[in-house]
Structure 1
Amino acid sequence: METNVGKLDCTLRVLVGLLMVIFAATEIIGAWGWLGLMLIATGAMRFCPVYTLFGKSTERMDKHSKHS
């Protein structure tokens, strides 16, 4: 499986996902906060199926910036 989630995107997904799960577990936000688990998973795997549907990738940005 080819990665399509860059490093910054990955970091943001995991951090926001963790906050959502923590807020859901402490009932600061509703049950929808458990959707943060999907952000954590896509960040950990560095693959987003939605990006694939639309032909997008933040991984390309990482690779492109290394050559600059």
Structure 2
Amino acid sequence: MTVNMGSADRAIRAVVGVILLALVFIGPQTPWGWIGIIPLATALVGNCPAYSVFGIKTCKKK
């Protein structure tokens, strides 16, 4: 897999993922928080499958 996400994009996804996962354990304790695994995983890997499909790259590397 190639990296297609920039550092700002990855940081935003990581924060959103952690916040969503926090909903499972803290707060309303809703199972919808498990959706936070998706943005967190894409942030850790650096590759977004949707970006690959649409040909989007937010990283500065070539």
- Distance of 2:29 and 2:19 partners within structure 1: 10
**Aligned counterpart, 1:49:** 49
Q: Which has the larger radius of gyration?
A: 1
Give how far 1:29 is off.
5.8
Return structure 1 stretches of 4+ with deviation > 6 angstroms.
Answer: none
> Deviations 1:3-41 (Å, cap 9, x if unpaired)?
011100000000110000001222526322111111110
Aligned to 2:22: 22
Residue-pair matches, total:
61
TM norm structure 2: 0.85
The TM-score with structure 1 as length reference comes to 0.78
Q: Distance in 1 between matches of 2:50 and 2:32?
A: 19
% identical equivalent positions: 33
Q: Which has the higher helix share?
A: 1
1:1-68 superposed matches below 5 A: 1-28=1-28, 30-59=30-59, 63=60
Distance 1:16 1:37 in 2: 10
